Structure 1
Amino acid sequence: MAKEKSDGKSAEVLPSPVVKLPPIPKGKPRSCAKVQKRPLNRRQPPASSNSRIIYVSPSTPFMSAVKRVQKQLNAGLRTQTAAHKNASLGSRIRQLERASASSGEKGSATVTVMGTGRAIEKTLSLASWFEQAGDYEVEMRTKTIGTVDDIVAEDDDGEDESRVRKLSGLEVSIRLK
């Protein structure tokens, strides 16, 4: 919706105002309803074994998360280069060459670290640690995640409702170089 100035030129377009959620109903007692938070909706596990997701909370120990990511990356590396026990030397070499050629592509093993809310700081420090290590490619993306909260009425006559709340999140993809 453009506003016009008195001289006939159109001014800048103003964005629509932010729509807030309606307030929680209150009655004579201090509050007649409580907000009950549900756990976050997590993604389905990936179909390919090349991509793993690790969720980080604010209380996750830093080095435990680092070791968990390294363990997942090493496990992905082992499955890519596994050879048959009775394979000849030539076939093992060809398999290693194919694995090294495909590891430079996007198909190599990737570990995704997710953190929301207060865990964003820990997720960011994990990304920084792997970036400084030098052996890893680190890619960061910010996200907005919708989660559902239930509003539970304490009165018998009140009806329960639910509303969607938005959370900030950080997604870090880590792969070996």
Structure 2
Amino acid sequence: MTDATTHGGTGTIEHLVLMGVAGSGKTTLAGILQERLGRPYAEADEFHPQANIDKMAAGTPLDDDDRWPWLETIRDWLTEQTRVGRPSVVTCSALKRSYRDVLRSAEGRVRFVHLTADEDLLADRMAHRKGHFMPTTLLPSQLSTLEPLGDDEDGVTVLVEDPPGVVADLTLAALQES
């Protein structure tokens, strides 16, 4: 099954924020889009301070106080890309609208790609990942925190049940239509 819905917006230098809960395929899709679009790509996990990583690795969900500095660092990276004239791709869970508001405050056009899937598929993907600090036990807290894109937010929602190449095709088509 494939599905993509769009949300509107405008701007100049375009940044794509691949958002969604753990296991939704943000990193996989980012690699494909980086190759297809020729844009620099950043993994939001690399912006976390060690204290956040340690907290999540111990099975403790982050709270907003943990997230604000992390989101501001990602926002600043997006602004740096705009200032040197580079559109980019970044992965970031961006689960709440308030988190997306921080990212949206970056210079340039920030568009969100909300990757969604059934909880069982997400849990299965997380269980088979190697070398990631996020345990499967945190998936329910992410799903309960998730606020899907609003109709007034610049972005698209893409179901990720298909192979990654198909998801990339759907994503690019949905972005072009919005």
- TM-score, normalised with respect to structure 1: 0.33
- TM-score, normalised with respect to structure 2: 0.32
Larger CA Rg, structure 1 vs 2 = 1
Q: Could you say which structure has the greater relative contact order, defined with CA pairs below 8 angstroms and 6 or more residues apart?
A: 2
